């Protein structure tokens, strides 16, 4: 699947190759396609080839609109049966038809480079595009023979391109996109490969064209000449007798408009300037030194120049396409377990082996013992979740471990969990007396869980923390009580008469406390009662031992 930046001024197409996004070049090795179309004497010209044939320009600012905005300067237009038409060469065309020709050309470039037909695409649109503008963009794609798998916002695409290599970071960035005719500023929060747009602001009538107009006046030349000369300022401090300072001064109104947008977006996002980790520059006009200087002033930090301003949006579209078709596995380099992993122990309780948020890959183990005399095997239930009881967690798998029979509590089984970088869990169980291993691999990735499910599990664990905890205390105390009570009566008959009345009374009182707490199902009370009974029977237990040993 391909990704397309369908720009007002320039367009580009990208794809994931060997895990990385690349912008595809046409037969002449050009990676940017000017968004220009001309149909002259029934010949169709698109991009660079259209330049000498009075092409239609900036049709993106007309797509999905009912009226031509007053600022439109892309050539003659008219309204025909309620729809805008633009003059492309000597032919009237709709903005959808013009866009379709641009998309067809990009599709052909991709097919030429990739050697196979491309039928699906991700296309970027400005964040502020409404339903109609989006619908017409899709219509254009269909005309071009492309099914739109997703439309994504341009700043989000730029953030994706920025985020690909930094997916594990938690950062707040501003994407400053100054193109040919529009300006967009978005503040985006990236957390573990997820993107949230906190605020956007922009000016649909501010871009490189305005800087061309200013320069044309300064140099007293044509707009197209000014466009050429403007680039010279990228490196030169003076062009045709006009100094960079003079040019910058003449552009102050334009820069002031940009400043207002930036400040509004900052206020809307609730983030202070120093709370932004990076300012990413996107769009051809951010190559202008005065724009970079302006950005540094507004945000009080140097902008990040890591992204190619002409290609970032297309690359982001390619990454999104890769995420959809599976060529990019996952953006977030999953580096922690979202939920705890463990096994079930006696009483249906979850025993955590790898706690949530552990960094992966990792390996952890614990020793377990037999609950019953002469037990020859143990069932290992592998669980995932944050709750105390098995029934509230997710069961990932189950297996039997055989071990050498031994008296209760004396067999030793080591259970080891290893989690690889993909979140695949292998469980190993070893009988320490025979060194025999049993292991299983949980095929399902333990980290591939939706954010929603993780959140739900954690919320529930917090909601039920007290109940769960009490439940756990009760279950553990009950197991102890079940062990103590039956042997108590036996012991009393055996050696009871050797105890003084006071001790005997204390034992009986604790015994009835335990029974009462068992009935009332109160964990804390039962735990206390069991401990008291344990203390009270200390002497009794040693008398029993003596009588057994003779």
Only one of the segments 128-136, 159-167, 283-291, 430-438 lies at the binding site for ligand ADP (rule: CB under 6 A); that segment is: 283-291
Binding residue (CB under 6 A) for ligand ADP from 89, 155, 284, 342: 284
> Does residue 126 belong to the site contacting ligand ADP (CB under 6 A)?
no
Strand 120-125 relative to strand 2-5, pairing: parallel
Q: Where in 492-511 is the site for ligand ADP (CB under 6 A)?
A: none
Give whichever of 211 and 403 is closer to ligand ADP, judged by the CB atom.
211
Least spacing, CB of residue 57 vs ligand ADP, in Å: 11
Tokens representing residue 379 in the block: 């069932």
Give whichever of 21 and 180 is closer to ligand ADP, judged by the CB atom.
180
Of 253, 243, 175, whose CA–CA distance to 213 is shortest? 253
91 burial class (0-12, 13-18, 19+ CB within 10 angstroms)? middle
Which one-letter DSSP state was computed for residue 165?
G
> What whole-number distance in Å separates Cα of residue 337 and Cα of residue 390?
19
Give whichever of 63 and 396 is closer to Mg ion, judged by the CB atom.
63
Give whichever of 106 and 343 is closer to Mg ion, judged by the CB atom.
106
Listed in sequence order, the DSSP H helices in 398-439 are none
What binding mask, one character per residue, do residues 23-62 give for ligand ADP by CB under 6 A, x or -? ----------------------------------------
Give the burial string for 267-295 (b: 16+ CB within 10 Å, else e): eebebeeeebbbbbbbbbbbbbebbbebb
Please work out, in degrees rounded to the nearest 5, the angle formed at the alpha carbon of residue 58 by the alpha carbons of 50 and 148. Answer: 95
Least spacing, CB of residue 193 vs ligand ADP, in Å: 25
180 binds, among ligand ADP, Mg ion, none (CB under 5 to 8 A by kind): ligand ADP
Query: Where in the sequence numbering do the catalytic residues fall?
Result: 5, 60, 154, 177
> Does residue 384 belong to the site contacting ligand ADP (CB under 6 A)?
no
> Does residue 303 belong to the site contacting ligand ADP (CB under 6 A)?
no
Tokens representing residue 303 in the block: 């902008």
With contact defined as beta carbons under 8 Å apart, do 164 and 21 qualify?
yes
Binding residue (CB under 6 A) for ligand ADP from 181, 193, 322, 385: 181
With contact defined as beta carbons under 8 Å apart, do 178 and 283 qualify?
yes
What binding mask, one character per residue, do residues 138-157 give for ligand ADP by CB under 6 A, x or -? --------------------
Tokens representing residue 523 in the block: 């964990």
Least spacing, CB of residue 11 vs ligand ADP, in Å: 7
> Does residue 208 belong to the site contacting ligand ADP (CB under 6 A)?
yes
CA pseudo-torsion sign 471, 472, 473, 478: positive
Q: Got the DSSP string for 14-49?
A: EEEETTEEEEPP-TTS---EES-EEEETTEEEEGGG
Give whichever of 227 and 370 is closer to Mg ion, judged by the CB atom.
227
Tokens representing residue 547 in the block: 């009588």
> Does residue 133 belong to the site contacting ligand ADP (CB under 6 A)?
no
258 binds, among ligand ADP, Mg ion, none (CB under 5 to 8 A by kind): none
> What whole-number distance in Å separates Cα of residue 509 and Cα of residue 499?
15
Give whichever of 124 and 510 is closer to ligand ADP, judged by the CB atom.
124
> What whole-number distance in Å separates Cα of residue 92 and Cα of residue 106?
22
Query: Closest CB to ligand ADP belongs to which residue?
Result: 208
345 binds, among ligand ADP, Mg ion, none (CB under 5 to 8 A by kind): none
> Does residue 234 belong to the site contacting ligand ADP (CB under 6 A)?
yes
What is the binding site for Mg ion (CB under 5 A)?
7, 179
Only one of the segments 4-12, 183-191, 371-379, 400-408 lies at the binding site for ligand ADP (rule: CB under 6 A); that segment is: 4-12
Collapsing DSSP to helix, strand or coil, 421 comes out as coil
Least spacing, CB of residue 106 vs ligand ADP, in Å: 13
Least spacing, CB of residue 54 vs ligand ADP, in Å: 19
231 binds, among ligand ADP, Mg ion, none (CB under 5 to 8 A by kind): ligand ADP
> What whole-number distance in Å separates Cα of residue 198 and Cα of residue 268?
8
CA atoms within a 13 Å half-sphere pointing along the CA-CB vector of 467: 8
9 binds, among ligand ADP, Mg ion, none (CB under 5 to 8 A by kind): ligand ADP
10 Å Cβ neighbour count for 538?
Answer: 11
> Does residue 179 belong to the site contacting ligand ADP (CB under 6 A)?
yes
Tell me how many residues contact ligand ADP (CB under 6 A). 21
CB-based contacts of 478, cutoff 8 Å, min separation 6? 347, 518, 526
Element (H, E) at 281: strand 278-282
Give whichever of 155 and 385 is closer to Mg ion, judged by the CB atom.
155
208 binds, among Mg ion, ligand ADP, none (CB under 5 to 8 A by kind): ligand ADP
322 binds, among ligand ADP, Mg ion, none (CB under 5 to 8 A by kind): none
User: Under the phi-then-psi rule, with left for phi > 0, alpha for psi from -120 to 50, and beta for the rest, what region is 473?
Assistant: alpha
Residues forming a β-bridge with 359: 336
By the criterion CB under 6 A, which residues form the site for ligand ADP? 7-10, 179-182, 207-209, 227, 230-231, 234, 283-285, 287-288, 310
């Amino acid at each position: 699947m391909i990704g397309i930046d369908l720009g007002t001024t320039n367009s580009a197409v990208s794809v994931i190759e060997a895990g990385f996004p690349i912008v595809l070049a046409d037969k002449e090795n050009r990676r940017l396609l000017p968004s220009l179309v001309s149909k002259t004497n029934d010949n169709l010209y698109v991009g660079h080839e259209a330049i000498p044939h009075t092409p239609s320009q900036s049709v993106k600012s007309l797509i999905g609109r009912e009226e031509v905005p007053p600022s439109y300067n892309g050539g003659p237009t008219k309204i025909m049966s309620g729809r805008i038409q633009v003059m492309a060469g000597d032919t009237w065309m709709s903005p959808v038809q013009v866009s379709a020709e641009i998309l067809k050309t990009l599709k052909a470039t991709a097919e030429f480079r990739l050697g196979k037909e491309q039928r699906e695409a991700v296309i970027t649109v400005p964040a502020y595009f409404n339903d109609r503008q989006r619908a017409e963009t899709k219509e254009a794609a269909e005309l071009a023979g492309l099914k739109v798998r997703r439309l994504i916002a341009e700043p989000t695409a730029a953030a994706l391109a920025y985020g690909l290599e930094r997916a594990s970071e938690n950062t707040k960035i501003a994407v400053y996109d100054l193109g040919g005719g529009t300006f967009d500023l978005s503040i985006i929060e990236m957390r573990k490969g997820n993107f949230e747009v906190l605020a956007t602001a922009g000016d649909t009538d501010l871009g490189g064209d305005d800087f061309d107009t200013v320069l044309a006046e300064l140099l007293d030349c044509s707009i197209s000449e000014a466009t050429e000369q403007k680039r010279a300022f990228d490196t030169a401090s003076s062009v045709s007798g006009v100094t960079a300072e003079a040019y910058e001064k003449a552009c102050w109104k334009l820069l002031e408009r940009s400043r207002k947008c930036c400040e509004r977006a900052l206020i809307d996002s609730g983030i202070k300037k120093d709370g932004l980790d990076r300012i990413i520059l996107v769009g051809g006009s951010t190559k202008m030194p005065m724009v970079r200087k302006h950005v540094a002033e507004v945000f009080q930090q140097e902008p990040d120049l890591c992204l190619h301003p002409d290609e970032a949006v297309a690359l982001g579209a390619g990454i999104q396409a890769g995420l959809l078709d599976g060529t990019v596995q996952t953006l977030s380099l999953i580096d922690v377990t979202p939920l705890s992993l463990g096994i079930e122990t006696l009483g249906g309780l979850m025993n955590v082996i790898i706690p949530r948020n552990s960094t992966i890959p990792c390996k952890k183990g614990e020793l377990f013992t037999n609950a019953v005399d002469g037990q020859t095997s143990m069932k290992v239930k592998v669980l995932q979740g944050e709750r105390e009881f098995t029934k509230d967690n997710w069961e990932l798998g189950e297996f039997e471990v055989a071990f050498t029979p031994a008296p209760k509590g004396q067999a030793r089984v080591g259970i080891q969990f290893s989690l690889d970088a993909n979140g695949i869990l292998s469980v190993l169980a070893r009988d320490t007396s025979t060194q025999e291993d049993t292991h299983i691999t949980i095929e399902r990735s333990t980290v591939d869980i939706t954010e929603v499910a993780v959140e739900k599990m954690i919320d529930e664990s917090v909601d039920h923390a007290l109940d769960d905890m009490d439940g756990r205390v009760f279950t553990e105390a009950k197991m102890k009580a079940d062990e103590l009570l039956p042997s108590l009566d036996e012991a009393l008959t055996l050696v009871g008469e050797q105890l003084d009345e006071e001790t005997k009374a204390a034992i009986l009182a604790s015994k009835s406390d335990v029974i009462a707490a068992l009935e009332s199902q109160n964990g804390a009370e039962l735990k206390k009662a069991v401990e008291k009974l344990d203390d009270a029977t200390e002497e009794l237990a040693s008398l029993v031992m003596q009588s057994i040993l003779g």
